[in-house]
Structures are given as C-alpha cells and as structure tokens.
Amino acid sequence: MQKLTISLFKQLTLLAALIATSSYLFIGTPNGNTLFILQIVFGVLYLSFSVAEFSTKMAKMNMPFDRFFYLPYDVISHKLIRLGAFAIAGGVLWISSSGLMFLASLLFIIIAADLLVFILKVVQKVYYMSLFANYVLISLEKEQKIFASQIEMVEYRYDIFYLKLKDKKTVALETDRLLVLRLLVDDVGAS
C-alpha cells in the first residue's frame, strides 16, 4: 500500500474514533461499554496503520551505507514534551467524572502510537548523519543537506560544531551524540 493511503486510513481511523466518542457525548449512543470496545478496536487499527506507515517509509528510504547514528537532545526533548503534554491532557480528562474521560483514551492511543514509532525509528537508526565529499546529510525528523558551498564558517565550542551558513542560519552538530565524530575530534586534539 502507498504511504499516502496508509496515512489517510490512519487519520480516518482516528476521526472515526473521535466521531464515535462525540456521538456518545452529545447523543448518548453507543453506550459506554460499546464505546470502550470501539475505541480499543480503533486504537489497534491506529497502531497498526502507524507501524505500516513507518514500514513503507523505511522500504522507500534510500539510506546511505556510511551513516552514523545521530540522535541529538533536541529531538528527544521535543518528543518528551509532546508526549508529556498529551499525557497530562489525557490524565486530566481521565480523572474527570464526566463523559470526557472517553476522550482520554484517544490521547493515550496517540501516545502509544507515537512512542512505538519513535522506538522503531531509534532501533532502525533512522536518525543519522552521513558525510559525503561535498555535503553533510542530517536525517532527523526531516532530511537536511548542507553543501560545502553553503557554509560560511565552522566553529567548535563545548563539544558542538556550529556550521554558520551563508543565509545566516546556524546548524549545531553535537559531537557527544555522534560517537565517530567525537573520536575524530579527540584524535586531532591529541596530535
């Protein structure tokens, strides 16, 4: 299946779960037990579509052979903040005594799917940096190619390479998060 089709089915599954929950809140149908079972079914479908979407993306990715696993702290903190915000919102909805507690299960489904896909990305080493002759490829949540002609200046401070680009942007490469680059810096410093 195409990635777009899987993504569409994934979002439609979440929309169907939201519609079923909203109909329970406003109309009263389906009853609480049926809604709980429906949300479990929609949750399993959402998780399976999330994993299928990741698998099709992995199959189509053309990852270079010489790549180095690179997972900077900002990617981890962004993921933790997002999951934490969903968990707090889900917890508040869960402890509410109204029918809104069913919306918490939708947030918990999203948290589980996001966490599962993040773990799969780390295990499959989707976060990487690759060094080529004329550019650096950084693949985090998005791919970024930095060509040598774009770099105005390179600075190294506090174990971080700062690539100052000609368009006044700065890209930070954390050497403590990239083992191979760290070994190269230590070798240059020793000689």
CA distance 153 to 41: 54
pLDDT grade, residue 181 (50/70/90)? very low
pLDDT value at residue 85: 94
Strands 170-174 and 160-165: antiparallel
Helix intervals (H) in the chain: 3-26, 32-60, 73-95, 101-123, 179-190
In angstroms, the CA 77 to CA 89 distance is 18
Band (182; pLDDT cuts 50, 70, 90): very low
pLDDT at 22: 85
Nearest residue to 141 (alpha-carbon basis) of 121, 123, 160, 119: 121
pLDDT(180) > 70: no
Nearest to 69 by CA among 115, 120, 124: 124
Average pLDDT value for the chain: 82
pLDDT in tens, 104-150: 888 898 899 899 989 888 888 888 888 788 888 888 888 888 888 88
**DSSP character at residue 66:** S
Q: Distance (Å, rounded) from C-alpha 3 to C-alpha 6?
A: 5
Mean pLDDT score, 24-47:
85
